């Protein structure tokens, strides 16, 4: 049903009645107003889809009221004849002018006006969505840069605390203080990890996953007081996903539902297939996504959210919870994981009406799975002899100094480098070093390219890598296929010594 406001002043009105308009099409419902203030109230109350106005003195007032109270609502002017007055009203924002003699064309004109309005709404919604995505992507880039620096800083704090523990006894108060520092480092590392999940541009190591395979993990992670109603048909296409990350995404949404329903309730989890047009696809890489998507829906019947809350929902550290209950990073991680899988999220919510989160992921048939990293079984690492020469490649001064002290204290002869170029200058011949401990991100290159050049010179050199996160599929494949040890920053210096010695 199309709700139409017919505005016709008593003086100088046109020969159009609400009954005549409704006769033109059964789906038209027309209400007539002759007073400009009453017509403005109808517009302001959202009670009409479109307005018709006779070409009288009040038509310009109606256009001004529309612009102020209901922007976008089409206004069609009905004139006895198309003349200067009609042209002036078109200049003031009328969408169409139609002569009374052409009234039979009104249904087509109304269809055209409403289609134009719908298209404008779609463009505005798409522009708004793109603007939000651009803002969150900018936050993601900032989060990645900040997290990289924070990992190095946390690593330095962890390292100095660990070195300090070697100099004091367990009965010393400083022992407890230093362990509290290390515990705080672990908490900071968890926050940093969440920031990296939010900011990472794409997920590595994705494999085909059946949607139904998620159900056991979701039921196992269901918060107390919630009951899961699942509608997951068997005949659904796979999606390409990192299973642990996708499980984490839905666990966060279940946790969000539990917060919205403190008294308990039902969470509905459903999965469907959607074929979308180009303008309906909001993947970071639409060309790779294709047009077929698997839509995962998580819906609760909780308190819902106001528009201003929903607007900021995925921003890092934004939370409506009281202090001490959550970091404000849960839904930021949800957003990041969706984007890493070349998908996106849609949220429907209103105060008192619950919330529905919809995740759209490309169907596997529309994407290509990356080749799985393969390689021979990992050989048993021989213990690195005492006094072996170790090359330590790390661009952060504090981390480089701490790691060098720890390795020297373990009996190794350590040389340090901060760049690819300086490392190559030191590793000038086969056998120059028994092992290389290398950061993945360096000022003049990356640790994987450096490792390849070192292996060409000395295939027997032992390699160990470190980073705050594995950045791309190439690095992941190289490390996995070579079975090289990898330490996540911030790492404990004892763990570094252990992996170089050949421990697990």
What residue ranges do the domains of the chain occupy?
A: 2-119, 122-199, 207-366, 389-501
| 207-366 and 389-501 have identical folds | no
Q: Given this model, what pLDDT does residue 192 score?
A: 78
Q: What is the CATH number of domain 207-366?
A: 3.30.565.10
Which is nearest to 298 in space by CA: 246, 255, 358?
A: 358
Which tens digit of pLDDT belongs to each residue from 303-351?
Answer: 899 888 888 888 888 777 666 566 678 888 898 899 889 999 999 999 9
Strand, coil or helix: what is 214? helix
Q: Domain 2-119: which CATH class? A: alpha beta
For the residues 118-133, what does the mean pLDDT come to? 79
Which tens digit of pLDDT belongs to each residue from 147-182?
Answer: 777 888 888 898 889 888 888 888 889 989 999 998
**Confidence band for 367, pLDDT divided at 50, 70 and 90:** very low
* Residue that wins the pLDDT comparison between 504 and 264: 264
For the residues 469-480, what does the mean pLDDT come to? 74
What is the dihedral sign for C-alpha 310, 358, 341, 224?
Answer: positive
* Residue that wins the pLDDT comparison between 383 and 427: 427
Question: For the domain with range 389-501, which CATH number is right: 3.40.50.620, 3.30.390.10, 1.20.1730.10, 3.40.50.2300?
Answer: 3.40.50.2300
> What is the β-pairing status of strands 28-33 and 2-7?
parallel
Instruction: Give the side-chain half-sphere CA count within 13 A for 130.
Output: 11
What value does the mean pLDDT of the chain take?
85
- Model's pTM, two decimal places? 0.59
205, pLDDT greater than 90 = no
For the residues 98-107, what does the mean pLDDT come to? 86
Helix (H), strand (E), coil (C) string for 19-73: HHHHHHCCCEEEEEECCHHHHHHHHHCCCCCEEEEECCCCHHHHHHHHHHHCCCC
| Most confidently predicted of 29-43, 52-66, 261-275 | 261-275
């Amino acid at each position: 049903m199309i709700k139409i406001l017919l505005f016709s002043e008593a003086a100088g009105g046109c020969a159009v009645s609400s009954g005549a308009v409704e006769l033109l099409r059964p789906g038209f419902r027309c209400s007539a107003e002759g007073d400009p203030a009453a017509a403005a109230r109808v517009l302001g109350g959202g009670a009409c889809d479109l307005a018709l106005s006779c070409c009288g003195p009040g038509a310009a007032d109606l256009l001004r009221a529309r612009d102020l109270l209901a922007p976008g609502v089409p206004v069609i002017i009905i004139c006895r004849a198309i003349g200067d007055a009609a042209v002036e009203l078109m200049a003031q924002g009328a969408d169409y002018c139609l002569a009374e003699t052409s009234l039979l064309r009104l249904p087509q004109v109304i269809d055209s006006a409403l289609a134009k309005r719908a298209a404008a709404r779609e463009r505005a919604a798409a522009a708004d969505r793109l603007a939000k995505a651009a803002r969150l992507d900018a936050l993601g880039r900032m989060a990645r840069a900040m997290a990289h620096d924070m990992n190095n800083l946390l690593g330095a704090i962890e390292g100095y605390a660990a070195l300090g523990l070697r100099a004091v006894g367990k009965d010393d108060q400083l022992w407890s203080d230093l362990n509290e520092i290390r515990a705080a480092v672990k908490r900071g590392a968890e926050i940093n990890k969440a920031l990296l999940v939010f900011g990472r541009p794409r997920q590595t190591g994705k494999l085909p996953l059946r949607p139904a395979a998620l159900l056991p993990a979701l039921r196992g992670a269901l918060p107390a007081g919630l009951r899961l109603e699942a509608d997951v048909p068997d005949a659904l296409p796979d999606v390409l996903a990192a299973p642990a990350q996708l499980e984490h995404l839905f666990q966060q949404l279940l946790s969000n539902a539990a917060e919205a329903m403190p008294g308990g309730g039902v969470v509905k989890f459903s999965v469907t297939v959607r074929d979308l047009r180009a303008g309906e696809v909001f993947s970071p890489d639409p060309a790779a996504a294709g047009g077929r998507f698997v839509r995962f829906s998580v819906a609760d019947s909780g308190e819902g959210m106001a528009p201003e809350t929903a607007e900021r929902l995925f921003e890092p550290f934004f939370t409506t919870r009281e202090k001490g209950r959550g970091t404000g990073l849960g839904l930021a991680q949800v957003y990041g994981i969706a984007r890493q899988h070349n998908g996106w999220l849609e949220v429907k919510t209103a105060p008192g009406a619950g919330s529905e989160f919809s995740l759209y992921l490309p169907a596997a048939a529309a994407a290509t799975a990356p080749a799985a990293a393969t390689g021979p079984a990992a050989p048993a690492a021989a213990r690195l002899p005492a006094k072996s020469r170790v090359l330590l490649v790390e661009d952060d001064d504090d981390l480089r100094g701490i790691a060098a002290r720890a390795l020297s204290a373990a009996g190794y002869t350590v040389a340090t480098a901060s760049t690819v170029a300086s490392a190559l200058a030191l590793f000038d011949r086969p056998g120059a070093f028994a092992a290389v401990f290398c950061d993945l991100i360096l000022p003049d290159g990356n640790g994987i390219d450096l490792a390849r050049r070192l292996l060409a010179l000395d295939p027997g050199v032992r390699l160990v890598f470190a980073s705050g996160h594995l950045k791309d599929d190439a690095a992941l494949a190289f490390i996995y296929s070579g079975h090289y040890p990898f330490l996540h920053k911030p790492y404990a210096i004892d763990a570094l010594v252990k992996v170089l010695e050949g421990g697990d």
